Amino acid sequence: MNQSLRRMEYAVRGEVVNRAEQIQKELKSRDHTYPFDEIIFTNIGNPQALGQKPMTFFRQVLALTDLPPASGVDHPDVAKLFPADAIARAKELHTMMGGMGTGAYTGSQGVAGICNQVADYITARDNGHVSDPSNIFLTNGASAGIQMVLTAAIASSDDAVMMPIPQYPIYSALTELLGAKQVGYALDEANGWSVTAETLRSQHAKATADGVTKVKALVVINPGNPTGQIIDRDVLLDICHFCADEGIVLLADEVYQRNVYTDATPFVSTKEVVCDNNVENLALASFHSTSKGLIGECGRRGGYMELHGFNPEVQAEILKLASSGLCSGVAGQVMTSLMVRPPAVGDESYESHEAEEAAIFSSLQRRSRMLIDGLNAIDGINCTDTYGAMYVFPEIDMPAKAVEHAAAEGTTVDSVYAISLLNRTGICVVPASGFGQAQGRAGFRTTFLPNEGQMKDAIGLFELHHNEFWSKWG
């Protein structure tokens, strides 16, 4: 079988999660012996699995778009269940799909009208720099777009992908699967997980010094996952120049662009930086998703990719690759349309939609602070202050004996710690080693998605377990 697949790791669905799913089954038995009654899954950014409510308007439009007109938009009683703006929007989407409805394959890049809406959204977001709909690909989540660009970019086993350390493991997993090399560039934990182009340049120089490794792509995750930092304009520009100079395709993972919980460091897209500064000779692929933000529609598998500055021949090959998968799911395409075009001022659903969104935003903001402050109050857990995404990535002081034990068992101490935490508290986190970290560091990634009540309890449990872990191994 495929040895690259065997080597591939994907920690967010790895050993700890498998164990958690096993325990969840056992918990259904009345005479289980675990000191808890439920698993709290904080291993993955899956808001609605932890109780976040879907946006009502978005779901109403989605449902109406799927209903055949006679049973939906044209039904005499439709207004009893659906607001007028949802009905109007569904009709608009029906028209856009040209009568094919949601049951047909769309074009390989998605429904043309929705690509237009995405381009308009990007143009408005990026300081008026016009986005061309022919560069928009609607994708099954961001993952599918990332896979297409990396598949196109990597030509041989000498090729490499540069990615932050720590990184979201889709990048290491796909790079491994495609048979290429990983070149990490360290984020600076002491400085809020910041990234500098100097680090990129030195890592690149080191990796390519022997002439064998050719870096073909570089990943920037902004806001960071698992690290939550927001990258500022100057640093982004520096990275763009570096990639342009070296002929490296830049992948900008911007799926958390709406998840910024401070006004001090607003999100700026890489595309805006490129256009504002007329960066030339740069191939940039930017990704967004309906799974994150304030929508959290993970099950929809919606998202888009925008290509900018690609060689037309390479872009044609990416289109061919998209076409071999026929099209992304239409429910995801509809959700992407809604994400980029929520109800407008004056629409019947505008106020209720805004209220739902604001409640989610402020709750995420509160939970982010609650978790960071709560973890920092625990002796031996150190959590960098960050204001983006849905995760924290604390460093944990580990007892030397536990480190030795893990090494003897052929595992990492943070895996031992995460399994121990799970067995004691039911909280499922991902060991930091699954994302990559500095030598000698240990920790975990957890989302701040459990509700505020659960979160308070969870912080108590983190402390309880940490102390017990030290009592056992310290």
161-180 residues near a second copy, rule: CB under 8 A: 170, 173-174, 177
Draw the binding track, 38-67, toward a second copy (x: CB under 8 A; -: no contact).
Answer: ------x-xxxx-x-xx-x--xx-xxx-xx
- Within 98-117, the residues that bind a second copy by CB under 8 A are 99-108
Pick from 71, 134, 281, 362: which binds a second copy (CB under 8 A)? 71
- Within 143-162, the residues that bind a second copy by CB under 8 A are 143-144, 151-155
Interaction between residue 303 and a second copy (CB under 8 A): no
Interaction between residue 131 and a second copy (CB under 8 A): no
Q: Measured in Å, how far apart are the chain's first and last C-alpha atoms? A: 43
Reduced to 3 states (helix: H, G, I; strand: E, B; else coil), residue 450 is coil
138 phi, psi to nearest 5 deg: -80, 135
Buried b (16+ CB within 10 A) or exposed e, 253-272: bbbbbbbbbeeebebbbbbb
Beta strands 391-392 and 444-447: pairing type? antiparallel
Is the separation of the CB atoms in 424 and 35 below 8 Å? yes
- Within 441-460, the residues that bind a second copy by CB under 8 A are none
Beta strands 181-186 and 159-165: pairing type? parallel
- Minimum CB–partner distance for residue 89 and a second copy (Å): 14
- Minimum CB–partner distance for residue 147 and a second copy (Å): 8
Per DSSP, what are the bridge partners of residue 160? 181, 215
Torsion of CA 470, 468, 38, 50, to 10 degrees: -50
- Minimum CB–partner distance for residue 474 and a second copy (Å): 35
The residue among 72 and 443 lying less far from a second copy, judged by its C-beta, is 72
Pick from 16, 39, 72, 285: which binds a second copy (CB under 8 A)? 72
Counting residues that bind a second copy (by CB under 8 A) gives 77
- Calculate the alpha carbon distances from 107 to 104, 136, 139, 150, 181 in Å: 10, 12, 12, 22, 33
Helix, strand, coil percentages (3-state) for the chain, rounded to 5, are 50, 15, 40
The residue among 54 and 380 lying less far from a second copy, judged by its C-beta, is 54
Pick from 31, 37, 77, 280: which binds a second copy (CB under 8 A)? 77
Residue that the structure tokens 């002796």 belong to? 379
Pick from 328, 368, 433, 447: which binds a second copy (CB under 8 A)? 328
Draw the binding track, 354-383, toward a second copy (x: CB under 8 A; -: no contact).
Answer: ------------------------------
How far is the C-alpha of 412 from the C-alpha of 403, rounded, in Å?
7
The residue among 100 and 438 lying less far from a second copy, judged by its C-beta, is 100
Torsion of CA 459, 460, 465, 466, to 10 degrees: 60
Category of 278 on φ-ψ map: left (φ > 0), alpha (ψ -120 to 50) or beta: left
- Minimum CB–partner distance for residue 386 and a second copy (Å): 23
The residue among 52 and 386 lying less far from a second copy, judged by its C-beta, is 52
- Minimum CB–partner distance for residue 10 and a second copy (Å): 5
Is the separation of the CB atoms in 386 and 364 below 8 Å? no
Token pair, residue 85, equals 């703006």
Draw the binding track, 11-30, toward a second copy (x: CB under 8 A; -: no contact).
Answer: --x-------x---------
Interaction between residue 6 and a second copy (CB under 8 A): yes
Interaction between residue 84 and a second copy (CB under 8 A): no
How far is the C-alpha of 250 from the C-alpha of 285, rounded, in Å?
6
Pick from 278, 324, 439, 471: which binds a second copy (CB under 8 A)? 324
* Choices 124-132, 137-145, 238-246, 337-345; region in contact with a second copy by CB under 8 A: 137-145
> In terms of DSSP H, where are the helices of 104-196?
112-125, 141-153, 170-177
The residue among 49 and 344 lying less far from a second copy, judged by its C-beta, is 49
- Minimum CB–partner distance for residue 342 and a second copy (Å): 16
Pick from 325, 401, 409, 438: which binds a second copy (CB under 8 A)? 325
How far is the C-alpha of 431 from the C-alpha of 412, rounded, in Å?
9
Interaction between residue 327 and a second copy (CB under 8 A): yes
Token pair, residue 293, equals 């933000």
- Minimum CB–partner distance for residue 93 and a second copy (Å): 12
Interaction between residue 320 and a second copy (CB under 8 A): yes
- Within 212-241, the residues that bind a second copy by CB under 8 A are none
The residue among 235 and 321 lying less far from a second copy, judged by its C-beta, is 321
